[in-house]
Amino acid sequence: MTNPLYDALFAPHEGKSSPFLLLAGGSILSHAAFLEMVDRMANALTALGAVPGDRVAAHVMKSPQALALYAACVKSGTVFLPLNTSYTPRELDYFVGDSAAKIFVCDPSEEAAVHDIAMRTGAHLTTLGADGLGSLTELAETQEPNFKAQPRSLNDLAALLYTSGTTGRSKGAMLTHENLLSNAKSLVEAWRFTRDDVLLHALPIFHTHGLFVATNVMLLAGGAMIFLPKFDVETVMAQLPKATAMMGVPTFYTRLLEEKQFSSDLTTNMRLFISGSAPLLAETHKKFELRTGHRILERYGMTETSMTTSNPYDAERRAGTVGFPLPGVKIKVCDAQTNAEMPMGEIGVLWVRGPNVFKGYWNMPEKTREELRADGFFITGDLCLIDEHGYVHIVGRGKDLIISGGYNIYPKEVEMFLDSLPGVKESAVVGAPHPDFGESVVAILVAEDGARIDAATIEAQTKDDLAGFKRPRHIEVVAELPRNTMGKVQKNQLREQFADVFQLAQD
């Protein structure tokens, strides 16, 4: 028995001095040096008591060591559970508890704040900072630089990624070795990645995009990554001439276009710009082509499915579309009420089946049955149509979801939090167009009888408990929420009413 992901992504690079990570300060980490780090880290996880199948929760900043932690989980057969770095202790409590993580790796600066979570859940707490230092790396340094890959099957879990849900409770998407490996193989081929590529990596590594799409693809192709801690437009422009490809959310592209110095001079070495995680406006696509001569390749995916569709590498990359299903992936468009398949060109909910589709939601068999059908089709909740040339257009969402700068925010979760604040009777959260993030969060609140609430107080009360990207950027207090005759809050009406708040704020 082998370890499918380790064997395909990492083992081929053992002992190779080829460059893997090109770091901000100019240093280069070779594949061999990285894999040595991985072995020490895998020994450290084992020394802390982790055995195959155990969850390792990681709330750590982006660093080579954080990436080595992912690889060490793959090699030791444990399940990697990366967590958004902006989550607050209140949010982390749920993830660590729900997953029953064996090990919880946190930033050294938050060790005291999350200590109680570890105590209560029984997770072993260890630390890893943005500089690569912490109690985990201290332990790893005392370990041998060799570790035998633990046997795993294609159907075993490699990662558990939490996605928010319409009920306000996050769901852990169980991703297998097969899910991740099949998708990486498809993407390397579809996007023609080779060992000669240098990918500019400015995405976070706690989500599908930066972790699986970007990193797994580059590991499989054998190329290198310019590994930046975050997207900083000046650093990205300075590094672009050394790269051959970049993957980003639409905000990366709109921010680049805002820079006067951003021109085709910086992109002559580039062969491919890829966008995903949120809709790329056709207008951005066109402006980018005009400025650089490059047509951005837009693709579509989800945590539960990894990548599902992609515009073609060689044929026309059509603005406003997400292209065709990847090889081996079957899609269909179904009526939201009857589930009947829709005729070509009509709008319905996108269903997906293939080796990329996850195994289900952690400890949520009912939720899994609702969304992942017995015939293997997963109901994405995205509304789409397929045009006469076969291009898929994502035209909206059947689910109540806001996507801000590539991060998903489920209004229900924010509403539940706002409703719990003193003086708040009820709330409605909607997305409004935002010039930088694509969409951002608007909260409309009603005060309890006799209570007075104001935007500034509410804003201050969200600071400690809600991750920054989820916090409302515009708060409005109203006498009552608009409702239909059934008593349901009219969110469409609120979306229309507040459609301009961020645009107006910018003017």
Binding site for ligand AMP (CB under 6 A): 163, 208, 276-279, 298, 300-303, 322, 380, 382, 394, 397, 403, 408
**Closer of 224 and 302 to ligand AMP (Cβ):** 302
Contact partner, 483, from ligand AMP, ligand MLC, none, Cβ < 5-8 Å per class: none
The H-assigned helical ranges of 270-350 are: 282-292
Contact partner, 405, from ligand MLC, ligand AMP, none, Cβ < 5-8 Å per class: ligand MLC
Residue 81 C-beta: closest distance to ligand MLC, Å:
15
Give, as ranges, the residues between 431 and 460 that touch ligand MLC (CB under 6 A): 437
Contact partner, 380, from ligand MLC, ligand AMP, none, Cβ < 5-8 Å per class: ligand AMP
**Closer of 278 and 446 to ligand AMP (Cβ):** 278
Q: Which residues of 437-473 are buried (b: 16+ CB within 10 A; e: fewer)?
A: bbbbbbbbbbbeeeeebeeeebeebbeeebbebbbbb
Residue 101's CB is within 10 A of a number of other CB atoms, namely 27
Helix, strand, coil: what percent of the chain each, to 5?
35, 25, 40
The single residue among 164, 182, 186, 208 that binds ligand MLC, judged by CB under 6 A, is 208
**Closer of 284 and 408 to ligand AMP (Cβ):** 408
* Number of residues forming the site for ligand MLC (CB under 6 A): 23
CA–CA gap between residue 90 and residue 467 (Å, rounded) = 10
Residue 167 C-beta: closest distance to ligand AMP, Å:
15
- DSSP structure string for 298-314: EEEEETTTEEEEE--SS
Q: Are 114 and 91 in contact (CB under 8 A)?
A: no
Q: Are 481 and 497 in contact (CB under 8 A)?
A: no
CA–CA gap between residue 128 and residue 178 (Å, rounded) = 29
The single residue among 70, 104, 351, 469 that binds ligand MLC, judged by CB under 6 A, is 469
Asked if 171 touches ligand MLC (CB under 6 A), the answer is no
Contact partner, 179, from ligand AMP, ligand MLC, none, Cβ < 5-8 Å per class: none
Interface stretch with ligand MLC, choices 36-44, 126-134, 220-228, 299-307 (CB under 6 A): 299-307
Residues in CB range of 120: below 8 A, 6 or more apart: 97
Asked if 80 touches ligand MLC (CB under 6 A), the answer is no
Give, as ranges, the residues between 104 and 133 that touch ligand MLC (CB under 6 A): none
Contact partner, 382, from ligand MLC, ligand AMP, none, Cβ < 5-8 Å per class: ligand AMP
Asked if 396 touches ligand MLC (CB under 6 A), the answer is no
Of 347, 316, 62, the C-alpha closest to 210 is: 62
The residue sitting closest to ligand MLC, measured at its beta carbon, is 468
Q: Which long-range contacts (CB under 8 A, 24 or more apart) does 121-129 make?
A: 121/96, 121/97, 123/57, 123/96, 124/48, 124/49, 126/48, 128/58, 128/60, 128/63, 128/65, 128/66, 128/69, 129/60, 129/61, 129/63
Contact partner, 397, from ligand MLC, ligand AMP, none, Cβ < 5-8 Å per class: ligand AMP
Strand order in 157-163's β-sheet?
124-127, 103-106, 55-59, 79-82, 157-163, 171-176, 360-361
Asked if 230 touches ligand MLC (CB under 6 A), the answer is yes
Which two three-digit tokens encode residue 282? 């056709």
Contact partner, 231, from ligand AMP, ligand MLC, none, Cβ < 5-8 Å per class: ligand MLC
Of 73, 43, 68, the C-alpha closest to 147 is: 43
Asked if 235 touches ligand MLC (CB under 6 A), the answer is no
Asked if 407 touches ligand MLC (CB under 6 A), the answer is yes
Asked if 209 touches ligand MLC (CB under 6 A), the answer is yes
Angle (deg, nearest 10), helices 282-292 and 250-258: 50
Residue 303 C-beta: closest distance to ligand MLC, Å:
6
Interface stretch with ligand MLC, choices 42-50, 142-150, 201-209, 393-401 (CB under 6 A): 201-209
Asked if 231 touches ligand MLC (CB under 6 A), the answer is yes
- DSSP structure string for 375-419: TS-EEEEEEEEE-TTS-EEEEEESS--EEETTEEE-HHHHHHHHH
Asked if 405 touches ligand MLC (CB under 6 A), the answer is yes
Residue 322 C-beta: closest distance to ligand AMP, Å:
5
Asked if 468 touches ligand MLC (CB under 6 A), the answer is yes
Contact partner, 394, from ligand AMP, ligand MLC, none, Cβ < 5-8 Å per class: ligand AMP
Residue 215 C-beta: closest distance to ligand MLC, Å:
12
Residue 185 C-beta: closest distance to ligand MLC, Å:
18
Of 238, 242, 191, 239, the C-alpha closest to 218 is: 191
Contact partner, 469, from ligand MLC, ligand AMP, none, Cβ < 5-8 Å per class: ligand MLC
**Positive/negative CA dihedral, 404, 406, 410, 413:** negative
Q: Are 331 and 325 in contact (CB under 8 A)?
A: yes
CA–CA gap between residue 88 and residue 248 (Å, rounded) = 25
Interface stretch with ligand MLC, choices 73-81, 181-189, 202-210, 386-394 (CB under 6 A): 202-210
Q: Are 120 and 104 in contact (CB under 8 A)?
A: no
Residue 403 C-beta: closest distance to ligand AMP, Å:
6
**Contact residues for ligand MLC, defined by CB under 6 A:** 86, 203-204, 207-210, 230-231, 249, 251, 276-277, 301-303, 404-407, 437, 468-469
